[in-house]
A and B are shown apart, each in its own frame.
Chain A
């Protein structure tokens, strides 16, 4: 009797999951499938003419040195923003984890950049880095007597968008590191201290390993942030210039679609991007988990 009852309810989990599936289907899988379909065509603006070209869009992309450079540049961008971003955030999180007066106020301050939109963040950095009236150059001039052409020099422009992206995402990383730090029980630290471990040893051998689940999660999130969401900052600060030095995958894709009006090539780029992110994530899950210690 009970077994029968159990079976008759076997549909319930699916029913309960169905809203999620419907949302995923409509907003994730359907557009993705559509991108693959679009990437096989060449389409005129206003959708007037549509020619089936097979994998020609992909072939063209991989034969285009500008696109290959773009991929390489984006890889550097992702690696730099993530490593610099996570290191800085961890250091700040450790400082913000101290039991000081008014520490909550500081925590809020460090979180604010994450709460503002990337358009606003980009504009702020444009002001700060303005070669004539910007605060950054003013301070550099006072301290070292140098003037940097932040946004008109390829190297510095690339550096500038890395700084801005790191700054923008730092709040998010800090919050998670803080939560991770607070989850480490004091008893662990105490016993380490009794064993005579110094501050650096404790940080290196206890804090970092015990934070590894957080770090693992943050790496995935940061890959997604720096690949997809740095768009706003690039658009406001450099528009991919000078001479393509800050043109990263997501921005090139946008230009191809909304300025050059080539849905086919843009769709092909988004499919490639999707594939790359999936591959990186799989690798990360496969090999990254070796270093993750759950308590």
Chain B
């Protein structure tokens, strides 16, 4: 008798545990957050997994944004695509055209039937970027914009007002000139300004003058067919860049971010334009190096209209080809990520913007911005940006390539073998060709 009871109990245990295991849906999440941010993502995922027992999220770091996109492509072709992928903002058009995604708004409203979700909870400049054809396509996740960083002590030393960072191109040049220290033998001890050769900065500077990067309202009213790179906004900025490098008041650290960051952190350059996601790092560094960090908005030509900045960073996309229960589980996780608690945690630990209004309000109430004015600079610049297609950001199917074309044009200009206008003419022509080829595939 005892044996029978035991047997029944054991088998019951099995059945219960088995069914419990069967109920838990596993979803794969591929992301490109390395280093410190990798830990932050893992902490968030772990917390979500512990908070309930229906969904198990498996996060996997898949290399850079570009690597993640490449891996997703091959995974899609072999039928092993994950449920959620993090794709950089310039991959947006490519994802829309991919035919593999499910717009997040469809996922929430139709698949999950979630009527309680507030679709207006996102910051307008953020949701504007990812809203195409009246629908939010991906879940905003890590967002950033560029701001001007400067060494306040160096400003005082050079007789400049540290409370008044340069606002126009002319001022940027004038300040850089004053901040540059040259040795007797002609070598430069400290440059006034530095900027890594990254296409993103040109895009931002164009938006900051309220101009578009491509035609058809930045590719938002119809597919982009022509580039505006050879128009005044972009050319003016590249020209300034060249003039400042030629004059020896701006350091050219080469392509990429690292060189410029090192130069600013080590005091080789007194001003720098970089992503807001570096605020924490630079603040920490300034403390160690013993100077006070200042931040300001991006400068623009005095004569240009006030535009603003475009949201950069990445968002989370859902892949449609999965069973319904996995899609529902995906929604649960994405919804959870957009909650106030998680947003604040993400913001405070990574420096990327929280993407919801509630999180910003909470940070304001607990005096986070009062204590960290440099974060406020980043927010105000974003929120004061004009609401227009220029600051909504361009949609280009071959954006990764376009960025490289721009970088090459800047390099050609700085090397002195081309005038800014000629280099940008060539770049525009290359972009047009690239757009034409891309558009042919989606007729």
Residues on A lying within 8 angstroms of B by beta carbon are 42-49, 51, 132, 145, 147, 149, 151-154, 238-239, 241-244, 255, 258-262
Nearest Cβ distance between residue B395 and chain A, in whole angstroms? 14
The answer to whether B415 touches A153, judged by C-beta atoms less than 8 angstroms apart, is yes
Inter-chain contacts of A243 with B (CB < 8 A)? 408, 411-412, 415, 417
- Which residue of chain B has the shortest Cβ distance to A43 in the bound complex? B441
The answer to whether A44 touches B97, judged by C-beta atoms less than 8 angstroms apart, is yes
Inter-chain contacts of B94 with A (CB < 8 A)? 45, 261
Interface stretch of the complex, out of B36-44, B291-299, B323-331, B396-404: B396-404
Nearest Cβ distance between residue B355 and chain A, in whole angstroms? 26
Interface: B66 (CB within 8 A): yes
Interface: B8 (CB within 8 A): no
The answer to whether A46 touches B412, judged by C-beta atoms less than 8 angstroms apart, is no
Inter-chain contacts of A149 with B (CB < 8 A)? 252
Mask, B390-429, CB within 8 Å of A = 1, is 0000000010110010011001101101000000000000
Rounded to whole angstroms, the CA-CA distance of A244 and B398 in the bound complex is 19
The answer to whether B254 touches A152, judged by C-beta atoms less than 8 angstroms apart, is yes
Rounded to whole angstroms, the CA-CA distance of A261 and B256 in the bound complex is 21
The answer to whether B442 touches A259, judged by C-beta atoms less than 8 angstroms apart, is no
Interface size class of chain B, counting residues whose CB lies under 8 Å from the partner chain = 35 or more
Contact partner, A241, options B255, B400, B417, Cβ 8 Å: B255
Contact partner, B77, options A47, A132, A255, Cβ 8 Å: A47
- Which residue of chain A has the shortest Cβ distance to B426 in the bound complex? A66
Rounded to whole angstroms, the CA-CA distance of A43 and B97 in the bound complex is 13
Inter-chain contacts of A42 with B (CB < 8 A)? 437, 440-441
Contact partner, A48, options B97, B252, B398, Cβ 8 Å: B97
The answer to whether B73 touches A46, judged by C-beta atoms less than 8 angstroms apart, is yes
Inter-chain contacts of B411 with A (CB < 8 A)? 241-243
Interface: B70 (CB within 8 A): yes
The answer to whether B187 touches A132, judged by C-beta atoms less than 8 angstroms apart, is no
Nearest Cβ distance between residue B5 and chain A, in whole angstroms? 57
Question: Closest 3 A-B residue pairs measured CB to CB?
Answer: A243-B411, A242-B411, A44-B441
Residues on B lying within 8 angstroms of A by beta carbon are 66, 70, 73, 76-77, 94, 97-100, 185, 187, 197, 252-256, 262-263, 266, 268, 398, 400-401, 404, 407-408, 411-412, 414-415, 417, 434, 437, 440-442
Inter-chain contacts of A259 with B (CB < 8 A)? 66, 400-401, 404
Rounded to whole angstroms, the CA-CA distance of A154 and B408 in the bound complex is 12
The answer to whether B73 touches A45, judged by C-beta atoms less than 8 angstroms apart, is yes
Rounded to whole angstroms, the CA-CA distance of A188 and B403 in the bound complex is 62
Inter-chain contacts of A242 with B (CB < 8 A)? 197, 254-255, 411, 414-415
Rounded to whole angstroms, the CA-CA distance of A242 and B398 in the bound complex is 21
Contact partner, A46, options B77, B252, B417, Cβ 8 Å: B77
Would you call the interface of chain B mostly helix, strand, loop, or mixed?
helix
Rounded to whole angstroms, the CA-CA distance of A43 and B401 in the bound complex is 16
Inter-chain contacts of B187 with A (CB < 8 A)? 147
Give me 13 A-to-B residue pairs in the complex whose CB atoms sit less than 8 angstroms apart, sorted by A's number: A42-B437, A44-B97, A47-B77, A151-B254, A238-B255, A241-B255, A241-B411, A258-B70, A259-B401, A260-B398, A260-B401, A261-B94, A261-B400
Inter-chain contacts of A261 with B (CB < 8 A)? 73, 94, 398, 400
Nearest Cβ distance between residue A162 and chain B, in whole angstroms? 18
Inter-chain contacts of B262 with A (CB < 8 A)? 132
Rounded to whole angstroms, the CA-CA distance of A42 and B268 in the bound complex is 47
Inter-chain contacts of B441 with A (CB < 8 A)? 42-44, 49, 51
Inter-chain contacts of B254 with A (CB < 8 A)? 151-152, 241-242
- Which residue of chain B has the shortest Cβ distance to A259 in the bound complex? B400
- Which residue of chain B has the shortest Cβ distance to A260 in the bound complex? B401
Rounded to whole angstroms, the CA-CA distance of A45 and B308 in the bound complex is 31
Inter-chain contacts of B434 with A (CB < 8 A)? 260
Rounded to whole angstroms, the CA-CA distance of A132 and B191 in the bound complex is 12
Inter-chain contacts of A43 with B (CB < 8 A)? 441
Rounded to whole angstroms, the CA-CA distance of A166 and B94 in the bound complex is 40
Nearest Cβ distance between residue B39 and chain A, in whole angstroms? 23
The answer to whether B98 touches A46, judged by C-beta atoms less than 8 angstroms apart, is yes
The answer to whether B440 touches A51, judged by C-beta atoms less than 8 angstroms apart, is yes
Nearest Cβ distance between residue A99 and chain B, in whole angstroms? 47
Contact partner, B253, options A147, A152, A154, A239, Cβ 8 Å: A152
A241 and B97 contact, Cβ closer than 8 Å, known pairs A132-B262, A147-B187 = no
The answer to whether A260 touches B77, judged by C-beta atoms less than 8 angstroms apart, is no
Nearest Cβ distance between residue A233 and chain B, in whole angstroms? 16
The answer to whether B256 touches A239, judged by C-beta atoms less than 8 angstroms apart, is yes
The answer to whether B408 touches A244, judged by C-beta atoms less than 8 angstroms apart, is yes
Contact partner, B442, options A44, A47, A145, A258, Cβ 8 Å: A44
Rounded to whole angstroms, the CA-CA distance of A258 and B71 in the bound complex is 10
The answer to whether A46 touches B408, judged by C-beta atoms less than 8 angstroms apart, is no
Rounded to whole angstroms, the CA-CA distance of A147 and B412 in the bound complex is 21
Extra A-B contacts (19), CB below 8 Å, given A51-B441, A243-B411: A44-B441, A45-B94, A45-B97, A47-B77, A48-B99, A51-B440, A132-B266, A149-B252, A152-B253, A239-B255, A241-B411, A242-B255, A242-B414, A243-B412, A255-B404, A258-B70, A259-B66, A261-B73, A261-B94
Inter-chain contacts of B404 with A (CB < 8 A)? 255, 259
Rounded to whole angstroms, the CA-CA distance of A171 and B98 in the bound complex is 46
Rounded to whole angstroms, the CA-CA distance of A94 and B68 in the bound complex is 48
Rounded to whole angstroms, the CA-CA distance of A42 and B436 in the bound complex is 13
The answer to whether A132 touches B263, judged by C-beta atoms less than 8 angstroms apart, is yes
Best-buried of A45, A152, A242, A244 by chain B (most CB within 10 Å): A45
Rounded to whole angstroms, the CA-CA distance of A105 and B428 in the bound complex is 56
Inter-chain contacts of B266 with A (CB < 8 A)? 132
The answer to whether B415 touches A154, judged by C-beta atoms less than 8 angstroms apart, is yes
Nearest Cβ distance between residue B263 and chain A, in whole angstroms? 7
Inter-chain contacts of B252 with A (CB < 8 A)? 149, 152
Nearest Cβ distance between residue A262 and chain B, in whole angstroms? 8
Best-buried of A43, A47, A152, A262 by chain B (most CB within 10 Å): A152
The answer to whether A49 touches B442, judged by C-beta atoms less than 8 angstroms apart, is yes
Inter-chain contacts of A48 with B (CB < 8 A)? 97-99
Rounded to whole angstroms, the CA-CA distance of A213 and B99 in the bound complex is 56
Inter-chain contacts of A49 with B (CB < 8 A)? 441-442
Inter-chain contacts of A260 with B (CB < 8 A)? 398, 400-401, 434
Rounded to whole angstroms, the CA-CA distance of A239 and B411 in the bound complex is 12
Nearest Cβ distance between residue B373 and chain A, in whole angstroms? 30
Rounded to whole angstroms, the CA-CA distance of A256 and B412 in the bound complex is 20
